Structures are given as structure tokens and as C-alpha cells.
Amino acid sequence: MEGNQHAHAPGHPHPSDHHQGHGHTPEEDGQLRRSAGARLKRLRHGLAHAMTPHSHEAADKVDAAMETSGEGMRTLWISLAVLGATTVVQALIVALSGSVALLGDTIHNATDALTAVPLGVAFLLGRRAANRRYTYGYGRAEDLAGILIVAAIAASAVLAAWVAVDRLLDPRDITHLWAVSAAALTGFVGNEWVARYRIRTGRKIGSAALVADGLHARTDGFTSLAVLLGSGGAALGWSSADPVVGLLITAAILFVLKDAAREVYRRLMDSVDPALVATAENALRSVDGVIGIGAVRMRWIGHALRAEADIVVHAHLTVVQAHQLAVAAEHALIHTVPRLTAATIHTDHAPTTGPDPHSALAHHGGRPDPAGALR
């Protein structure tokens, strides 16, 4: 058709001769497109640096760890003050009313407040620098604090159950029902605020122990509302309402114990969100020069992530070039994966006609053939 015709002036090279003039062969066009894509990727990366100033120096990573620990400490101190004040108010009303349901809630609130102590110690300990004995630092102290939190929740469940059963066997009258109701509402408001604060901060800084403590506080808030049922039943003349609600509170504590234990167990077993692994894999694939990826492993150390990854590069690269790619891969991971502070990158080369360099490791369960990592 006329619109698709191309006129040629005298002396203008024919399309078949473009490679002799200003045109390019298909191979050259492909190289140009790849080069343009690489420049665009570097431009985007440079803009990201400009919009989000940062550094990867060791001192800056330590400062970031100190900052997150400091934020965790602020959360603990503020929540300790709020729960402490709530516990004091409830304890005074327990002494006046004799409500076993409110006593169980008060015990749980006090336990929740005190769990801030081992967690605070863990945050402070986690600031210590790594050494030749603790080569990854002291971040695991948070996981130990998580175990103490789970133990404290279990102990509060046992104590609340014991008091409730004792009151069922030996009923006692409850007085000052209006005060019990007011204390229950106070407990709910205080615990829910603390729960939101702890969970939000815990997720922000990557602390499973702080999230577990927030879940603990949230359950305390709902059990505080349950105390209202006990006081309402007592006002209607049902003398067993108070200890029955105390047993319900014990059951609620056991539910939060399950959730908290699961959080801490997963952290101790080096569990990570599979979405983080997928994010890391995509980041590695985006690095120019990486033609495949192998295993990607991640683990939490306190509230910081560390990673190990295998990448496949072209076999003709020099050691210096392969190292540059490994650094670029680590850089991409730190940019992309939240809370990641460092990554160890192992470079494999694409398959060659020579012997497999990993064959010596085969009987030790070593790395797989890089051909299997081209994905």
C-alpha cells in the first residue's frame, strides 16, 4: 500500500545496505536495546538513591539497629506506664469488691506489664556489637525474651484458673459492682491502646516478641470486657457468674498463649514470610549480569534479616567482575527486602564443557549444579 512505501533519493542507501550507513544489523539493534535498558535501570536506581538517601556503611547499619532498638524501648516504656497505671486502678477495686474475675484480669495485666522488662533487656543486649564468639551479634536475645513472655502468659493462665476454681468451691459476695464495671472498661481501653502500639511498632521493626506481647495485651482488653458480664450476672443475683467469667478469662489467656507461642516458635525455627523470599528472588533477577538464581535463604536475628543467595553469572567473567555482580546483588536485596541488613552472595558460573567445580562437595551435600539454578 502507498502508506507503507519508502521513497529513496539518489545516493541514499538501499535498506539492504543499511548496515553500511546509519542502519544496524538485527544483532546490533538487540545490543542497543539491551544497552538502553541497562541505562534506564541505572537511571531508576540513581533516582531511588536521590529520593531516599542512605548508606551501606557498617556504622550506618549499626545506627539503624540502634534506632529500631530505641523505638522498641520507647514503646515498652510507654506501654509499661499505661498498663502499670491500669493495674493499680484495678487492684484497688479488687481489694474493695472482692471480684475474682477482676482479680484474674488484674493479674493478667500485671503480668503483661512486667513482660516489658525482659524484652527491654533483650533490646539493650541486641545493641552490642558482634564478636568472635557471637559472630552474628546478640539479636537472638529477643527470641529468648519471647520464650519468657510465653512462659509468663502460661503462668497467668494457671493462676487465674486456680483463683476461679477456688471461688467456685467457696463463693463470696461481690461489692461495689459499679466500681468493678468501671475498672473493666479502664482495663479494656488501656490494653487495647497498648496492643495497637506494640503490634504496630513490632511489625515496623520486625520484632516477633513485641508483636506477641501486643497480642497478649489485646486479649487482656477483651477479657476486661468479659468482667462486665460477671458483674452484670452478680447484679442479677447469679452468684457463680464471677468465677465462671474468671474461667472464661483463663480460656482466653490460653488462646493468646497459642498465638504467642506460634509467633515465637516460628522465629526460633528461622521461619520467614515466603513473600519475602519471592521479593528477594525478583530483586536478584533484576540485576544486570545475573542470568539465573539458586537457593535463597533468610533468617531473622532479633528484628533484623540476613540472607544467603546463589546467583549464576556468565562463565567468561573475571573474578573482579563476578565480585562486582555479587555486590550489586547484595545492594539490590538491601534496597528491596524490608529489614534486611546484609546478604552473603555466592556466584556460580553458567555450565561449561569442563568438570563441575561442585563435584568435590557432592558427598557433603554441597551446592547443586549451577545448571539447575538457571531459573
Confidence label for 154 from pLDDT (cuts 50, 70 and 90): confident
Which of 87-101, 124-138, 171-185 has the least mean pLDDT? 171-185
Angle at 323 between CA 317 and CA 329, to 5 degrees: 105
| Across 211-218, average pLDDT | 80
Indicate the average pLDDT of the chain: 75
pLDDT at 349: 87
pLDDT at 3: 40
- Select the more confidently predicted residue: 40 or 231: 231
| Across 43-68, average pLDDT | 44
Pairing, β 292-301 against β 340-349: unpaired
pLDDT at 40: 52
Which of 7-16, 105-114, 160-169, 201-210 has the least mean pLDDT? 7-16
Cell numbers of 108, please? 493478667
The pTM of this model reads 0.64
Angle at 367 between CA 363 and CA 368, to 5 degrees: 95
Do 352 and 318 form a contact (C-beta atoms < 8 A)? no
pLDDT digits (tens, 9 = 90+) for 249-281: 788 778 888 888 888 899 889 999 999 999 999
Confidence label for 14 from pLDDT (cuts 50, 70 and 90): very low
pLDDT at 54: 41
pLDDT digits (tens, 9 = 90+) for 60-69: 444 444 456 6
pLDDT at 65: 47
Does residue 39 carry a pLDDT above 80? Answer: no
pLDDT at 322: 94
> Could you tell me the CA-to-CA distances from 111 to 148, 151, 270 in Å, in that order?
11, 10, 27
> Could you tell me the CA-to-CA distances from 353 to 102, 290, 366 in Å, in that order?
76, 20, 20
Confidence label for 20 from pLDDT (cuts 50, 70 and 90): very low
Pairing, β 304-313 against β 292-301: antiparallel
| Across 145-157, average pLDDT | 83
- Select the more confidently predicted residue: 316 or 86: 316
Do 300 and 206 form a contact (C-beta atoms < 8 A)? yes
Which of 15-19, 89-93, 112-116, 141-145 has the highest average model confidence (pLDDT)? Answer: 141-145
